[in-house]
Amino acid sequence: MVTLENPKAVLNSKYAKKELQDHIIKHDQLINKMKQLHEANGNGRWFTEESMYQVADSILK
């Protein structure tokens, strides 16, 4: 998943493959996209809260 932060960014994905279009979003759509993915993958595995904090700490380092 790639998010774009700049609110003035223009995402021209007209020629991109469908797989790419679904993985590039603006940052204000991130929570809704995560909820959508979670609902679509209800039986899948998701990070525990502890694991998410470990990943975030690793990125910050």
Where exactly are the structural domains of the chain?
2-60
SS3 2: strand
Q: Calculate mean pLDDT across residues 5-20.
A: 82
**58 confidence band (pLDDT: 50, 70, 90):** very high
CA-to-CA distance for 61 and 54, rounded, in angstroms?
A: 11
What confidence category does residue 43 fall into, taking pLDDT thresholds of 50, 70 and 90?
low
